[in-house]
Amino acid sequence: MMIHTFIQAGGESARMGRNKALLPLGGKRCMEWVIAAARAVASEITVITSDPRVKAFCQRAGVGSASDLSSGVGPLAGLEAALVRCSGKAALILACDLPFLTGDLLHRLVSSFREAEALVPLDAEGRPQPLCAIYSVACLPAVREAITRGERRMTQLLERLAVRFLPFSEISHLPGAEEFFWDLDTPDDYARARQRLRERRTGHSQDAC
């Protein structure tokens, strides 16, 4: 099964101070790592962004782009835009700042999606990861209701959906599982990701030193 995949790359990050999608990381832009993983399962890739620099990058990379339909509501707006444009019955939603995603993980998500309104994996600490998840287009009314209510948090939306949570135990055997959900919210996160990629290139980690 291949699935229409949407990458959320909204704009400036308050804590990072710039758009995380375009951060240089291991010789690529951060979003390129996400795109590379997505290609393993994507029938089509669309980046949701309002940033003209990201739109220009998408054009050069041969990836589609689209804008939010609602402004000022964060990831919910990106999810709304994705579900409106989805070419199938469900959409894979990915944040642009998850450079350690793999095709193996995304294959596992797609193969696990059944009749629930959403499939959301849990990280090693049991926390839901709503920006590495699959949503049925049937979720659209609930998403729009949440936006109308003024909600901003994806976890609030999950409380209103029929969600299947994928336990970390079902993906922990995959290579790189402990790093799948490392995001780049802060400069410290960015520094950690750069260090991890350097360690991969040299074939050792700080813990092994």
Domain containing residue 177: CATH number? 3.90.550.10
Cα gap 103→81, rounded to integer Å: 24
Cα gap 125→74, rounded to integer Å: 24
Per the structure, the count of domains in the chain is 1
pLDDT one-digit tens code per residue, 113-164 = 988 999 999 999 999 999 999 999 999 999 999 999 988 899 999 999 999 9
CB 101, CB 17: distance < 8 Å: no
Domain containing residue 127: 3-202
First to last CA, the chain: 42
Is residue 8 domain-resident? yes
Is residue 103 domain-resident? yes
pLDDT at 206: 45
Amino acid, res. 103:
G
Q: How many CA atoms lie within 13 A of 2 on its CB side?
A: 9
Is residue 134 domain-resident? yes
